[in-house]
Amino acid sequence: MTISDSDLTEAVSRVVDPELGRDLHTMGMLRGASLAGSNVHVLVALPTEDWPVKKVLSELIEAAVNDFEGVHSVSVEFTIMDEAEQAAIRNHLIGDPSSTGGTQQAHGHAEGRLVPFAEPGNRTRVILVASGKGGVGKSSVTANLAIALAQRGLRTGVIDADVWGFSIPRMLGVSRPPTVIDQMVIPVEANGVRCISMGFFAREDQPVIWRGPMLHKALEQFLTDVHWDDPDYLLLDLPPGTGDISLSISQFLPKSELLVVTTPQPAAQKVAQRAAYMAEKVNLQVRGVIENMSWFRGDDGKRYDIFGSGGGEALAAELDVPLLGQVPLVTELREGGDVGSPIVVSDPSSEASTAFVEMARLLTEEFLPTRRYNEGLKLV
């Protein structure tokens, strides 16, 4: 069978770029494929010079071409797109930034930016992870719960909205910054979870000193300028306590659900209660309570209630929501977060991992979203 250049072009055009999740033809990245004797030459235009999946993309192209009989060698050459081509990719994936969008007033500020997760018909389930105070392990819970959801085959993303105490990239094991194409950000993936964080845009050892409007704008950009690609679940790791971020989220993500993280300690439970009441005041649904550091299991196999007991159960009863799960105090959970090796990956059979896996199951099988009455809707 004679191989033509058009046969090669068609085969290569179907190769999916791992970073964009689209084939080369759709993204306008394929410049051509030609055959000279038994040697194939492919020219591909990359959106940026430091394209992070260049090597993987080259291997995928070679695999697609090597299926043809008589091909002995494949050379893949890369060039860089111009600004107009980069803008075309952005417009295809998330739309034109200069256009107005959104069907509800809450969807953006004066620029009219579209928040896709608030649009009617959007199927992404948005889960907010909150706490009344810092130090209860909220970010550890977010990271491990997100991975547990991804392990169930669900497309999962995380927004590190804790702009003052960002830690999600480190905990997930992210090893590189996100890719930016014409002001569109491609979230970084690690352990099956895509994430974006203030940690990508600020030095880890420097404080973020922002007032409300800047926080509002940053959160909006995380929602509108990032190519999330319609995930099944989007988790937001919120700052502890109540404040401007919570108010902004109630505007941007009115359909989101809240999980409150606390410890068994009564003092922590009382503080966490305020975060839940804040959510209810801005019409966000409190879905459940997660109790972290519930107990420590000693070498003798016994459980020790270091921080007391009953705080999570009492908070769930007070809020009239389920206690979604209890996570034991495990050294490996803390150590894994410090080095980017989440416990649900490094030790999936541990007591803590089992708790996260069960919480992911409950969220996807039993505690499903419910319709809520909206006073603004009237029959005419």
Query: What's this model's pTM, rounded to 2 decimal places?
Result: 0.89
Domains 5-81 and 105-365 share a fold: no
Greatest Cα pair distance, the chain, in angstroms, is 76
pLDDT at 377: 47
pLDDT at 373: 45
Q: Which of 224, 208, 266 is nearest to 106 (CA)?
A: 224
What's the Cα-to-Cα distance from 107 to each of 73, 94, 186, rounded to whole Å?
A: 52, 15, 21
pLDDT at 266: 82
pLDDT at 289: 96
Q: Which CATH number fits domain 105-365: 3.90.1150.10, 3.40.50.1240, 3.40.605.10, 3.40.50.300?
A: 3.40.50.300
Q: Residue for token digits 């988790």? A: 235
Give the start-to-end residue ranges of the domains of the chain: 5-81, 105-365
- Beta strand residue intervals within 124-256, DSSP E: 125-131, 156-160, 179-181, 184-186, 188-190, 193-197, 233-237
For 319, the enclosing helix (H) or strand (E) is helix 311-319
What is the C-alpha R_g of the chain? 24
Print pLDDT tens along the chain (380 aa): 567 889 999 999 999 999 999 999 999 999 999 998 889 999 999 999 999 999 999 999 999 998 888 888 999 999 999 999 999 999 999 987 766 454 444 444 435 567 999 988 899 999 999 988 888 999 999 999 999 999 999 999 999 988 777 889 999 999 899 999 998 999 999 999 999 998 887 665 555 555 556 777 888 889 999 999 999 999 999 988 766 777 788 889 998 999 999 999 887 888 888 888 888 888 889 999 999 999 999 999 899 999 999 999 999 999 999 999 999 999 999 899 999 999 999 999 999 999 999 999 999 999 988 755 455 544 44
Which tokens is 280 given?
């209810």
CATH code of the region 5-81: 3.30.300.130
Q: Are strands 73-80 and 39-46 parallel, antiparallel or unpaired?
A: parallel
Taking the C-alpha atoms of 292, 296, 297 and 299 in order, what is their torsion angle to the nearest 10 degrees? 140
Cβ atoms of 291 and 312 closer than 8 Å: yes
pLDDT at 211: 54
Q: Which amino acid is at 179?
A: T
Q: Are strands 257-262 and 285-292 parallel, antiparallel or unpaired?
A: parallel
DSSP for 99-121 reads S---SSGGG-STT----GGGSTT
